[in-house]
């Protein structure tokens, strides 16, 4: 399992423009996800990007560990929002029962399809029993490069839910919706809210 260097290079080169091209409002799924957590819960954010969701998580009073695989994105998040973000790729997650929640907005879609099950295993291990995880993915019929050259895994809904259940997550809620990514392509997306069961 390894990071896709072309995808990281895209974000490294485009971090200033990319972070300014989106509004400052956090993800529309974020507050509903945070409402599930206990006050002060420890939250791992992967793929924090420019830090807009990170800032909201801190504003809500949670204990945040914000991470991104691209150094330029980490710098932008810290410059703009002072969120204490650090560099960590998906394949570097090694925590064991360290977090109450893992927030992964529009980032795991860049993991290679073959690597995703291993990443989900790492996320499950990093969660404490009863912990929550959110992720959303562009749907499709197979892995490929988007018009910006980024690797995108493009699973179908059944494959994605099966991958989460096989990893050991309980899928609590899903939402299928239409949306555009940074590449401007209109696609269906799937948002998953999952839980690590208590023993």
Residues 6 or more apart in contact with residue 16 via CB below 8 angstroms: 72, 76
Sheet holding 86-87, edge to edge: 86-87, 63-68, 42-45, 99-104, 127-138, 186-195, 170-180
At residue 2, the pLDDT reads 67
Give the structural domain span for 77: 5-195
At residue 19, the pLDDT reads 62
Distance CA 169, CA 71 (A): 30
Domain tally, the chain: 1
pLDDT, tens digit only, all 199 positions of the chain = 568 889 999 998 988 776 665 556 799 999 999 999 999 999 999 999 999 999 999 999 999 999 999 999 999 999 999 999 999 999 999 999 999 999 999 999 999 999 999 999 999 999 999 999 999 999 999 899 999 999 999 999 999 999 999 999 999 999 999 998 888 889 999 999 999 998 8
The secondary element (H helix, E strand) that includes residue 163 is helix 157-167
Residues 6 or more apart in contact with residue 186 via CB below 8 angstroms: 178, 179, 180
Kindly report the CATH number assigned to the domain that includes residue 101.
3.40.50.150
* Cβ-count burial 95-117 (b if 16+ within 10 Å, e if not): beeebbbbbbbbbbbbbbeebbb
Distance CA 74, CA 76 (A): 5
Cα three-residue angle 143-144-149, rounded to 5 degrees:
145
At residue 15, the pLDDT reads 86
Task: Answer yes or no: are the C-beta atoms of 78 and 66 closer than 8 Å.
Answer: no
At residue 93, the pLDDT reads 96
């Amino acid at each position: 399992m390894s990071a896709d260097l072309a995808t990281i290079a895209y974000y490294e080169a485009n971090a200033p423009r990319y972070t300014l091209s989106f509004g400052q409002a956090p993800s529309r799924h974020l507050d509903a996800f945070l409402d599930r957590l206990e006050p002060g819960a420890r939250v791992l954010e992967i793929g924090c990007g420019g830090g807009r969701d990170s800032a909201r998580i801190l504003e809500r009073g949670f204990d945040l560990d914000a991470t991104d695989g691209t150094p330029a994105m980490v710098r932008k998040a810290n410059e703009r929002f002072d969120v204490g973000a650090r560099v960590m790729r998906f394949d570097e997650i090694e925590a064991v029962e360290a977090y109450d929640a893992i927030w992964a907005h529009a980032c795991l879609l860049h993991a290679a399809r073959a690597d995703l099950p291993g990443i989900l295993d790492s996320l499950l291990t990093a969660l404490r029993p009863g912990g929550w995880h959110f992720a959303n993915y562009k749907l499709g019929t197979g892995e490929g490069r988007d018009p910006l050259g980024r690797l995108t895994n493009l699973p179908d809904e059944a494959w994605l839910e099966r991958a989460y259940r096989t990893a050991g997550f309980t899928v609590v809620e899903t939402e299928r919706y239409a949306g555009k990514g940074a590449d401007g392509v209109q696609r269906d997306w799937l948002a998953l809210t999952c839980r690590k069961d208590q023993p």
